[in-house]
Amino acid sequence: MSFFLEESARLKSLPPYLFLEIDRAKRRAVDKGVKVIDFGVGDPDGPTPDFVLRAMSRFMKEGKNHHYPLDRGNAPFRETIAHWFSRRFGAAVDPDQEVLPLIGSKEGIAHLPLAFINPGDTALVPDPCYPPYKSGTLFAGGKPYLLPLRESHGFLPDLEGIPREAARKAKMIFVNYPNNPTGAVASRSFYGKLVSWARRHRILIAADLAYSEVYFGKEKPLSVLQIPGAKEITIEFHSLSKTCSMTGWRVGFAVGCKEAINALLRVKSNMDSGVFTAIQLTAAEALKNSFRFSEKTNRVYRKRRDLLAAGLKELGFPAKPNPATFYLFTRLPHGQEDSALFCKDLLEKAGVVATPGVGFGASGEGYVRFALTVPEPGIREALSRMRKIR
């Protein structure tokens, strides 16, 4: 680095980004000639559906779609979001005031703290968690107050166990169900308690629902906004990445509290110029067909989950089939606690990439996450390699 360039304190405060580090380790292995089997980053291995590609081809050819998008996003896309949300969750959102397209849900999540967190303020962050909850808070000058997620408690935060002083200082609480990395889901009872607790403490709920359409039981995952009184204190984030295998397209949306939506819009209008209009229109077509597509992909993920869980159990992992998300989060075999060392050995000795639980937070230590984005032959090969290094 040039002698006169010094990184800001907020940038120095960030740990290395977990998935970037994993990708670097994988590339080093590939450069050595290792045929890597990658269960690391949660990037769907299936292609974006043909009906999405056909829509994009059509909208790309319309010149009017190549100008700056409106700051609130394309009206037909917002209306489609509101209709999809009503159909999926039975809850109403106003497409003009309570819906905001995003450049992927990650972008909105990371920018949200800038709208509400002042230096020294606190955000309540689950641990383990998706890293942007912490990094977004730190970039805003805030302090993450970590809420341990314990397997014995269903990987749900203990709301009543949060100290009164911590609740008093907090401006928002992040929740994520279906959960990354644990695969846990939240019940209506939990969401009812969360809304009541957040209203009592005047705290904004930032709900990450990126995995709402990846589930394996008969009951679909819930939205916080299905709880009476939630909309006034909740902003919820959704993504087309997992729902329609559109990770690289970078499109998602936020719904909920209009004051929170407007505040996030003000941040975004100073940071970016919105989502390419052709992508917004294509995303609307994707949402209209998402239910059929999700049913198909969930059958694939379920078969992979069952195969991997059974194989890991034979290898000494106390693996349990996850009810949702395409992640299998399991404790390490008995006697092993260092998840980073385990994943390092797994890559070096077997050419298998997995994510150490500690990378998601201290409470994730002793666990490892496998993404179900590897076809069945690859899963069988990975299990075979793991048996050889036991």
Domains and their CATH numbers in the chain: 9-47+292-388 (3.90.1150.10), 66-289 (3.40.640.10)
- Taking CA atoms, 92 is separated from 82, 206, 254, 281, in Å, by 7, 18, 13, 21
pLDDT score recorded for residue 154: 97
pLDDT of residue 41: 83
Alpha carbon distance 2, 124 (integer Å): 37
Confidence of residue 292 (pLDDT cuts 50, 70, 90): confident
Both tokens of residue 182? 């644990």
Q: Is the pLDDT of residue 234 over 90?
A: yes
Q: Average the pLDDT over each of 30-44, 140-154, 316-330 and give the range with the smallest value.
A: 30-44
The rounded mean pLDDT for the chain is 94
Give the pLDDT score at 27.
80
pTM: 0.94
Digit-coded pLDDT (tens) for 244-260: 999 999 999 999 999 99
pLDDT digits (tens, 9 = 90+) for 155-182: 999 999 999 999 999 999 999 999 999 9
pLDDT at 9: 84
pLDDT of residue 19: 65
Identify whether the C-beta of residue 241 lies closer than 8 Å to the C-beta of residue 247.
yes
Confidence grade of residue 224 (pLDDT, cut at 50, 70, 90): very high
Within 289-369, where are the H helices?
290-314, 339-350
Helices (H), the chain: 9-12, 18-31, 50-60, 75-89, 105-116, 132-139, 164-169, 188-201, 240-243, 258-271, 277-288, 290-314, 339-350, 376-388
Quickly tell me which residue has 């984030």 as its tokens. Answer: 237
Of 357, 363, 322, the closest CA to residue 342 belongs to 357
CB-CB contact of 279 with 252 (8 Å):
no
- pLDDT one-digit tens code per residue, 367-387: 999 999 999 999 999 999 999
d(CA 157, CA 276): 37
Can you read off the two tokens belonging to residue 79?
Answer: 């209306």
Whether the predicted pLDDT of 361 surpasses 70: yes
In the predicted model, is pLDDT for residue 281 greater than 60?
Answer: yes
Q: What is the pLDDT of residues 103-136, one digit of tens each?
A: 999 999 999 999 999 998 999 999 999 999 999 9
Contact 142, 123 (CB under 8 A): yes
Q: Given a cut of 70, is residue 18 above it in pLDDT?
A: no
How much is the average pLDDT of 53-68? 94
Give me the pLDDT at residue 374, please.
96
On the question of pLDDT at 84 being above 70, the answer is yes
Q: How many CB atoms lie within 10 A of CB 244?
A: 26
Mean of pLDDT values over 38-51: 90
User: Is the pLDDT confidence value at 17 over 80?
Assistant: no
Question: Helix (H) and strand (E) counts for the chain?
Answer: 14, 12
Residue 4 has pLDDT above 80, yes or no: no
